[in-house]
């Protein structure tokens, strides 16, 4: 099915839109706005002055320091820019103010179109306990749980016992995996409850919780819905988002595999009932968990990261639909006109460390290379290589240094000195005849090589003193040894203590000097990448010194506490 035709908005109401967000979603909205002839306005913090979305916009306005509470979450600043720029509408993207009822109301009061559902729908579906009651009344299947007003520890724990472990503890205003914990037994319920509450307060300024039966090994299936201002609503089929880590989606697939046409129809119809129950307008997602049946989980009252997989199987542009519906137009297609064709996948690339249990990472983006987009491939991004990066200006040609000087390469404990592009190497009793050369294709460097007559063409990236090699068979890295005169210069981690596994903010300090701890006891709670992480004692001992206070920033590998062996205790 072809994309909806590109014409001007028939009402003429939206000629300029402010995107109150950053990164990939801001760029995504701007692409469609440009296609439709709608001018785009960007806002940016100090940290995003040189970001891609700022460069793409027709206009851009600075709104404050890097902290989101003083920039992207500051409603007055966003509305002030909307007035200054004469933008008729605000697109909130996802996250930040996208599901904020107060912001939607303020836009309405100021005569600015909020590209999203009415504030009443955001409120009703944003509070999980309220949404469960509404869904039950609308005939949408819900899972057993407790959504009551009594939030005392005793009541929540007794309800968890009634429901039966394992249970899911969820913030009623949660989303994106934040404020969500699993308690597998009564013994760990209190710790998980407190952790969920802390994260919910930090993320949503609300620590009200609900308890639900945790369905082990379920499928996470969500339905894309869309409503207009005339009371009509449609579904654009389902996405399977079951592949997750720390409640963060990794792979999304549309349509859901193994779902029969009958179940697909029932899912879609249930999602439309959910949308109509709250007079929904715009793009939304109704999330279900599935085992033998399906149960309502929550509704996201906004566009989601994974909306492109739904667009690809229906031939639609949901951002265009958002702009048209917000301007007062009817839905571009009826339910019968929405046809499912093909299959699509979305893979998210996270800033994580695969060698450190995939913990979140932070830092400059030194190298970025993606496939070329075409009719079957979409690259949704809002980032570029760091402009302090040598690859941003050198076009990768610094790799040619391999041709003009001797190198000693280190692979594990084995090293090899090479002074040409051909050599013989012996390891493990085997002899390898190796030859190769570097070749550039655009910004990408490839290593054309032959090992005992077998040709390969892996991609080559050099960062710091490491050569990274990527091929269809996997990846490897070869270190360039640090010269002896530089050895030992790098900082050391805490000897006999705990170190920060990533860069983050110390949310809570649980120990003090003189405390005795056992291996695995919680020492600190860190917030990194908007998620809470508990730092635990690597061994039993006594806390000698605590290096950070609550609210302070800790860099990756920074010493958090120093420990010493408890007097009279033997080595483990």
List active site positions.
302
Q: How far is CA 546 from CA 164, 190, 509, 516, 556, in A?
A: 39, 25, 9, 13, 16
Burial environment of residue 412 by CB neighbours within 10 A (0 to 12, 13 to 18, 19 or more): exposed
Tell me if residue 183 falls in helix, strand or coil.
strand
**Structure tokens given for 142:** 């819900």
Distance CA 292, CA 315 (A): 31
Tell me if residue 264 falls in helix, strand or coil.
helix
Contacts of 375 (CB under 8 A, 6+ apart): none
**Structure tokens given for 284:** 């939304």
CA nearest 132: which of 312, 297, 332, 292? 297
Distance CA 347, CA 456 (A): 26
Backbone φ and ψ for 121, nearest 5 degrees, come out as -70, -40
Distance CA 86, CA 67 (A): 26
CA nearest 363: which of 395, 380, 397, 388? 388
The length of the chain in residues reads 572
Q: How far is CA 348 from CA 97, 258, 381, in A?
A: 22, 23, 10
């Amino acid at each position: 099915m072809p994309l909806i035709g590109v014409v001007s908005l028939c009402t003429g109401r939206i000629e300029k839109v402010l995107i109150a967000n950053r990164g990939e979603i801001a760029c995504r909205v701007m692409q469609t706005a440009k296609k439709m002839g709608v001018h785009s306005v960007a806002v940016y913090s100090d940290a995003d002055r040189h970001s891609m979305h700022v460069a793409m916009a027709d206009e851009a306005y600075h709104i404050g320091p890097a902290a989101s509470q003083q920039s992207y979450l500051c409603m007055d600043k966003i509305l002030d820019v909307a007035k200054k720029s004469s933008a008729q509408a605000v697109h909130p993207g996802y996250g930040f103010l996208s599901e904020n009822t107060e912001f939607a109301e303020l836009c309405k009061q100021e005569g600015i179109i909020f590209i999203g559902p009415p504030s009443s729908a955001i409120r009703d579906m944003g509070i999980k306990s309220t949404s469960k009651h509404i869904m039950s009344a609308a005939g949408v299947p819900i899972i057993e749980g407790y959504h009551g007003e009594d939030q005392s520890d005793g009541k929540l724990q007794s309800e968890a016992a009634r429901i039966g472990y394992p249970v899911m503890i969820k913030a009623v205003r949660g989303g994106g995996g934040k404020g969500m914990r699993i308690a597998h037994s009564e013994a760990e319920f209190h710790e998980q409850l407190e952790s969920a509450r802390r994260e919910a307060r930090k993320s949503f300024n609300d620590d009200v919780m609900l308890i639900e039966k945790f369905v082990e090994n379920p499928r996470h299936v969500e339905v894309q819905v869309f409503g207009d201002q005339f009371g009509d609503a449609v579904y654009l089929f389902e996405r399977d988002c079951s592949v997750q880590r720390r409640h963060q989606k990794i792979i999304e697939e549309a349509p859901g595999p193994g779902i029969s046409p009958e179940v697909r129809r029932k899912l879609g119809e249930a999602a439309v009932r959910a949308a109509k129950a709250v007079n929904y307008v715009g793009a939304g997602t109704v999330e279900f968990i599935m085992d033998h049946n399906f149960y309502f989980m929550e509704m996201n009252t906004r566009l989601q990261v994974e909306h492109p997989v739904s667009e690809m199987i229906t031939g639609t542009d949901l951002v265009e639909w958002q702009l048209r519906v917000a301007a007062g137009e009817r839905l571009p297609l009826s339910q019968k006109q929405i046809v499912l064709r093909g299959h699509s996948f979305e893979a998210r690339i996270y800033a994580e460390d695969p060698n450190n249990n995939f913990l979140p990472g932070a830092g400059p983006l030194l190298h970025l290379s993606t496939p070329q987009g075409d009719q079957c491939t979409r690259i949704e991004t809002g980032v570029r290589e760091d402009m302090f990066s040598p690859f941003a200006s050198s076009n990768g040609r610094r790799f040619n240094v391999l041709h003009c000087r001797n190198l000693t390469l280190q692979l594990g404990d084995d090293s090899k000195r090479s002074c040409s592009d051909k050599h013989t190497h012996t390891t493990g009793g085997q002899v390898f005849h190796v030859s190769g050369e570097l070749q550039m294709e655009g910004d990408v460097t490839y290593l054309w090589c032959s090992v005992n007559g077998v040709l390969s063409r892996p991609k080559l990236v050099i960062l710091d003193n490491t050569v990274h090699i990527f091929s269809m068979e996997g990846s490897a890295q070869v270190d360039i040894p640090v010269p002896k005169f530089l050895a030992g210069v790098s900082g050391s981690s805490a000897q006999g203590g705990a170190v920060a596994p990533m860069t983050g903010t110390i949310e809570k300090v649980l120990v003090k000097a003189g405390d005795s701890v056992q291996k695995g006891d919680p020492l600190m709670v860190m917030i990194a990448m908007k998620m809470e992480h508990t730092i635990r004692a690597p061994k039993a001992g006594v806390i000698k010194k605590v290096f950070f206070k609550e609210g302070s920033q800790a860099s990756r590998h920074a010493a958090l506490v120093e420990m010493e062996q408890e007097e009279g205790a033997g080595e483990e």
